[in-house]
């Protein structure tokens, strides 16, 4: 995951920022560590626009890192932060990490650096991490009930970020957008879709949250053996899906990027 540090009002020079220089990235590079404010002040020197994608840290650390980024951008004199947030940022939201994003949004509101906030739904790309296991076991076990999710692809999020960068700073400054796919799908729809695309017969098995949590290892098998944080937050996310908190559908990807967001069907077909 990279931050993009952009010089020039319309994104004419892009600098990549991360803790270590990633392989295969041709852009100039600066070290950006969200734990190190002084280092970030140096990294942001001369940078007009900062695209901030949070790390996968726990809620409190993620919020602290976000405040660090805002403080460093302010001290370095950046003219805009483009913050990749999440759909529900209420401080009391049951959504994992929501409070961190809410606190970072507040820090942005209270800072002198104008922000563009891009709140995102769940990534369509997440499905790719799960459906091989559904195909293998013939079961899609969930605790989300009829809850629907407006999956949006990482590509559409990236296209929206690029579109913001291609406009003058003033165009979207101070605005908040919610990036979603074109429709909200329940797990029954997702199972049908995978069955159709792969000629499979995956059965939907809806269980209570506690059972889902205790069966995660069995559901996911060795493929998820090391991802304890994913196992911890997935039942929480599925509860949020059940409550409809990730089901909002907007036209903001189209408004920003000029292209309609791709559906889960299109994305899954493209990645088959």
Ligand X SMILES: NC(=O)c1ccc[n+]([C@@H]2O[C@H](COP(=O)([O-])OP(=O)(O)OC[C@H]3O[C@@H](n4cnc5c(N)ncnc54)[C@H](OP(=O)(O)O)[C@@H]3O)[C@@H](O)[C@H]2O)c1
Instruction: Note the residues at the interface with ligand X (CB under 6 A).
Output: 1, 18-20, 32-35, 53-56, 65, 120, 122-123, 126
Q: Shortest approach of ligand X to residue 32 CB, angstroms? A: 6
CB of 66 to ligand X, least distance (A): 10
For the chain, give the longest Cα–Cα distance. 56
């Amino acid at each position: 995951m990279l931050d993009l540090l952009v010089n020039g009002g319309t994104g004419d020079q892009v600098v990549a920022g991360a803790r270590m220089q990633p392989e295969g990235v041709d852009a100039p590079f600066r070290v950006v560590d969200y734990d190190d404010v002084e280092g970030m002040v140096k990294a942001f020197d001369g940078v007009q626009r900062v695209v901030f994608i949070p790390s996968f840290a726990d809620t409190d650390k993620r919020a602290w890192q976000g405040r660090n980024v805002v403080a460093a951008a302010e001290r370095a004199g950046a003219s805009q932060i483009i913050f990749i947030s999440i759909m529900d940022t209420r401080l009391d939201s049951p959504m994992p990490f929501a409070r961190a994003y809410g606190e970072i949004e507040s820090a942005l509101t209270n800072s002198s650096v104008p922000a563009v906030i891009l709140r995102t739904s769940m990534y369509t790309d997440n499905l790719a991490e799960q459906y091989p296991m559904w195909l293998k076991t013939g079961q899609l076990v969930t605790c989300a009930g009829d809850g629907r999710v407006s999956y949006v692809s990482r590509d559409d999020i990236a296209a929206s970020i690029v579109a913001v960068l291609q406009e003058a700073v003033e165009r979207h400054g101070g605005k908040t957008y919610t990036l979603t796919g074109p429709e909200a799908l329940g797990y029954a729809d997702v199972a049908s879709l995978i069955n159709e695309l792969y000629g499979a017969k995956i059965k939907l098995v809806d269980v209570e949250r506690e059972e889902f949590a205790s069966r995660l290892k069995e559901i996911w098998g060795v493929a998820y053996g090391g991802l304890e944080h994913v196992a911890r937050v997935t039942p929480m996310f599925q509860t949020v899906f059940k409550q409809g908190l990730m089901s909002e559908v907007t036209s903001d990807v189209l408004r920003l990027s000029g292209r309609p967001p791709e559906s889960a069907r299109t994305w899954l077909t493209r990645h088959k």
